[in-house]
């Protein structure tokens, strides 16, 4: 399993976060992967997660070494490497139509707060849990909100052949400290998608707080 480092999709979403070193829209970080091995359902999805988190760990270790060289051990020691156990992650399949559901804007108040015609709304009971994909894109913690048309454009760029035939899994988020920030308030999400038409995997990660 190999991460795809360059892709037209990454070029497209740069408009949403031009200064970021990551490939993200709203609170969603995107990782694209390819694999020469045959697709084996959930087993392949788990391997995609492993590849992504191994890559994130490598990046953190490299940053730790840079900090050691630029400053000293005391600074480097404050950078704690990512902890994860992919094999503790549990997954449930998702229906593509439900996953890519996008609500309409009902009204925007004087302060810019947006009301949607969606059954799901943020409240004290669901803070720190999983948020819908549309919410993670359209309602980031800070910065510009994205509109329903942005949500649709991003997914059209990511899945040019459509989304109906995708295999999608939603994973628990209690197996890595990557998700700790999101558990505090905004929410934490981990989704893996396999596009049969492109033989490509997409891992989407969300973890944000204020």
Average pLDDT over residues 135-159: 94
Pure H helices in the chain: 8-13, 42-70, 73-76, 96-99, 133-138, 148-158, 180-184
pLDDT tens, residue by residue, 158-201: 999 999 989 999 999 999 999 999 999 999 999 999 999 999 99
Work out the number of other CB atoms within 10 angstroms of the CB of residue 158.
22
| Rounded Cα gap, residues 154 and 13, in angstroms | 7
pLDDT tens, residue by residue, 56-93: 998 876 665 555 555 555 544 555 678 999 999 999 99
Predicted structure pTM score = 0.92
């Amino acid at each position: 399993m190999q991460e795809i480092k360059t892709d037209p999709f990454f070029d497209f979403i740069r408009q949403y976060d031009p200064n970021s070193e990551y490939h993200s829209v709203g609170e969603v970080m995107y990782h694209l992967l390819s694999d020469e091995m045959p697709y084996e359902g959930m087993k392949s999805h788990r391997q995609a997660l492993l590849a992504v988190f191994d890559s994130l760990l490598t990046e953190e270790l490299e940053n730790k070494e840079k900090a050691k060289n630029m400053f000293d051990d005391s600074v480097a020691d404050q950078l704690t490497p990512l902890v994860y156990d992919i094999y503790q992650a549990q997954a449930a399949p998702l229906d593509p139509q439900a996953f890519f559901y996008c609500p309409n804007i009902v009204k925007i108040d004087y302060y810019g707060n947006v009301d949607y015609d969606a059954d799901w709304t943020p409240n004290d009971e669901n803070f720190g849990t999983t948020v819908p994909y549309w919410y993670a894109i359209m309602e980031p913690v800070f910065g510009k909100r994205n509109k329903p048309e942005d949500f649709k454009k991003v997914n059209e760029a990511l899945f040019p052949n459509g989304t109906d035939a995708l295999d999608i899994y939603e994973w628990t988020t209690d197996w890595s400290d990557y998700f700790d920030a999101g558990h505090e308030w905004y929410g934490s999400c981990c989704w893996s998608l396999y596009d049969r038409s492109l033989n490509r995997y997409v891992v989407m990660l969300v973890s944000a707080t204020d």
